[in-house]
Amino acid sequence: MIIYESKGYELEKAQSNTSEDFFNRSEVIYEVNGVKHKTAVLYLRYFEEQLSTFSDLTDVTLYENGDESIYFCDTVALAMVLKNPNFIGRKRIYINEMTQFSKELEGVNYEQLVQYIRGTKQNANKKVHIND
C-alpha cells in the first residue's frame, strides 16, 4: 500500500438548517495493487470528546512541532483502511455509533500513523510505502 495523503477536518454548516457542524470528516488517499483510492470517513465530533473512554489518547492533538500539527481526525480514515481490509476501495464510510467507532479503532498504533502522515508531508515524492 502507498499512502499519499491523510487529513481530517471539522465540517461547517452550509445552511442554517443542517447539522453538518456536529461531524468530522477524515480522508485518506492511497494506492493498492496499482489502483488509487480515496476513502472518506464521516463521524460524530462527539466521539473525539470521548477519546479517553475507548483509547489511551487524552487529547486530539497527536503531534505538534512548530507549524506542523497532526490531529486525531487526520488519522481516522487511514487507521480504518489499514485495520479493516473491507474498507479498502470504499469511497465513503459513515459511523454514527460510538461502539462501532471504538471497535474500528481498537488497538490502533497512533504513533505509527503519525509517522506515516509526517512521511507524506516530508518526503520529496509525497508518499509513504507501507508493507501490508
C-alpha cell recorded at residue 105? 479503532
**pLDDT surpassing 80 at residue 124:** no
Q: How much is the pLDDT for 125?
A: 80
- pLDDT tens string 58-95: 899 999 998 899 999 999 999 999 999 999 999 999 99
Residue 19: predicted pLDDT: 74
Tell me the residue type at 59: D
Write out the three cell numbers for 96: 454514527
Centroid of chain to Cα 105? 10
Is residue 75 within 8 A of residue 113, CB to CB? The reply is: yes
The CA-based diameter of the chain, rounded to the nearest angstrom, is 45
Give pLDDT, residue 17.
63
With 0.85 as the threshold, say if the pTM is over it: yes
Torsion from C-alpha of 34, 35, 36, 38, nearest 10 degrees: -140
Over the chain, what is the mean pLDDT? 92
